[in-house]
Structure 1
């Protein structure tokens, strides 16, 4: 890796930046080294490498033990999914964090950077947690949060089809198949709804240990988007609404410790999805082209309550 340089003080002191001499292939990156940098930094940006959608997909496969997906996005080569969520700003969230199938890692590949603005945002959950007031910390430690919503049949069946690695045709997939996948996820209730849709409730802490550490991170999807899905109802576990004053503090605190990723063509971003939340500023250049991938690694079991 002599052609690669690691800077563990990316921008505001969060994350890591790994740069390469022009033409350096992603293959030079060692999995154990990348995961150690990720464990220390929470997210890392790969810049200057020789990249493409295919090379990005190969990197994700090499670094991961299992690939998952968002069934509402188009799939490219079995790994990469084109990000298409409109042009508005998107609030901070963990990818699929409002469901029992939250992945460990969230990957991004910038095929074409915006000419202006349109940055991806990343917020380290450790810094966010430390910045919250003691009263806010106690509120989130005392009670879990619950996400609930309906998901249409085409989307949950597509997810199950991929999770079963194509072992069953989409048209043959039943609710029992989904229930089997969710069986080991505590805090999950799934029941049938109209037209083969499902309704689910998912209970999970808003602040919890992470993939690489027992340190508490504020990492959740209470500010997140629902562009391709029904907007979830988000409450405390006792079904009491989250007070607006508490949500206002979360917005203020997380914005103060959020880093903007100003994309360049060919950049790859890797986020510890159990520790860091991500979002997006409003897209000012619609030619911007970003791909996403989601995966699991076997470092440890998924943090409690996530499955």
Structure 2
């Protein structure tokens, strides 16, 4: 008998829940099955598997082509980063979606679940796009959006150092190294700012095809946080502000299709970061301990999914 059971619905028809009998290691999970399920469901919750932070890190490495990070967070074991963005609620966003370095996959490991509340929120961009009014869809199809802000030297150099996998000492990293990493990202402008900081502008559609499908998903960081960073300016590509009526509709529609991940100790969540936005309810139990990891897969290896 299989020690792993896949439920096609996590909650309210969204996502997938994969459960295991006690003592089942994360190593039994087959990469192709996980990716096929993710392509269909948008996000997965792995529950009941045996293993801690080390097993989580090994799982991320085994399932991914390349690991990336958020340079403002502390690193654990070379892969996982502790989620430490205060106690307040966090708006829906794609991880690093306001930068040219948005990863394909966003992972979470719950070491200690909250005794009450404090859920992670998830919102499927397919469902948002289908629920938006024709006027809203047309507004986002007609024009890209642009994120712009400054980033301190220590943060962008830490990101480059990790991206280069230690090929250069952090003190030897220059702006040219960052520009090389961003060279293939359409709609990206990076220039030096004072004190070693950089200023960047990143142009991207608010709604676009996903990693696994050519179906349009509304997946972006318009409503997202700016923890540990300067708050970005967000406009349309022609520098016109996004009108209040449009933001109000996005807030209303996303709220109507957002679901919660009610964590249990040892849970792992995997999110298609190109399709599903995530956020957080306010933390009411500060003992909650969550780790995050970010990664890429080869696009040509991504299985086709109907979403």
TM over 0.5: yes
TM-score, with length taken from structure 2: 0.97
Q: Equivalences for 1:183-194 in 2 at 5 Å?
A: 183-194=183-194
Q: Equivalences for 1:93-172 in 2 at 5 Å?
A: 93-172=93-172
- Output the CA distance in 2 between the equivalents of 1:216 and 1:120: 24
- Output the CA distance in 1 between the equivalents of 2:51 and 2:142: 45
Given the alignment of the two structures, is residue 272 of structure 1 paired with residue 260 of structure 2, yes or no?
Answer: no
Q: Deviations over 1:111-148 (max 9, x none)?
A: 00001100000000000100000000000000000000
TM-score, with length taken from structure 1: 0.97
Structure 1 stretches of 4+ with a deviation exceeding 6 A read none
Q: Equivalences for 1:256-295 in 2 at 5 Å?
A: 256-295=256-295
Q: Classify the secondary structure of the residue corresponding to 1:189.
A: strand
Q: CA deviation at 1:254?
A: 0.4
- Size of the aligned set, in residue pairs, is 302
Partner of 2:179: 179
Q: Classify the secondary structure of the residue corresponding to 1:212.
A: coil
Partner of 2:227: 227
Partner of 1:195: 195
Q: Classify the secondary structure of the residue corresponding to 1:44.
A: strand
Partner of 2:44: 44
Contact preservation (8 Å) 1:43, 1:270: yes
Q: Deviations over 1:12-45 (max 9, x none)?
A: 1010000000110000000000000000000000
Q: CA deviation at 1:9?
A: 1.3
- Output the CA distance in 2 between the equivalents of 1:298 and 1:2: 29
Q: Deviations over 1:135-170 (max 9, x none)?
A: 000000000000000000000000000000001111
- Output the CA distance in 2 between the equivalents of 1:10 and 1:115: 20
- Output the CA distance in 1 between the equivalents of 2:94 and 2:301: 17
Q: Classify the secondary structure of the residue corresponding to 2:299.
A: coil
Q: Aligned Cα RMSD in Å?
A: 1.0
Structure 2 unaligned spans of 5+: 303-307
Q: CA deviation at 1:299?
A: 2.8
Contact preservation (8 Å) 1:68, 1:295: yes
Partner of 2:305: none
- Output the CA distance in 1 between the equivalents of 2:166 and 2:245: 46
Q: Classify the secondary structure of the residue corresponding to 2:38.
A: helix
- Output the CA distance in 2 between the equivalents of 1:22 and 1:127: 34
Given the alignment of the two structures, is residue 249 of structure 1 paired with residue 212 of structure 2, yes or no?
Answer: no
- Output the CA distance in 1 between the equivalents of 2:69 and 2:128: 27
- Output the CA distance in 1 between the equivalents of 2:234 and 2:215: 25
Q: Deviations over 1:37-87 (max 9, x none)?
A: 000000000000002010000000000000000000000010000000000
Contact preservation (8 Å) 1:236, 1:242: yes
Contact preservation (8 Å) 1:212, 1:300: no
- Output the CA distance in 2 between the equivalents of 1:44 and 1:75: 23
- Output the CA distance in 2 between the equivalents of 1:217 and 1:203: 17
- Output the CA distance in 1 between the equivalents of 2:145 and 2:183: 19
Q: Classify the secondary structure of the residue corresponding to 2:259.
A: strand
Given the alignment of the two structures, is residue 86 of structure 1 paired with residue 108 of structure 2, yes or no?
Answer: no
Q: Classify the secondary structure of the residue corresponding to 1:2.
A: coil
Q: Classify the secondary structure of the residue corresponding to 2:147.
A: strand
- Output the CA distance in 1 between the equivalents of 2:185 and 2:210: 16
Q: CA deviation at 1:301?
A: 9.4
- Output the CA distance in 2 between the equivalents of 1:67 and 1:275: 19
- Output the CA distance in 2 between the equivalents of 1:234 and 1:211: 24
Partner of 1:305: none
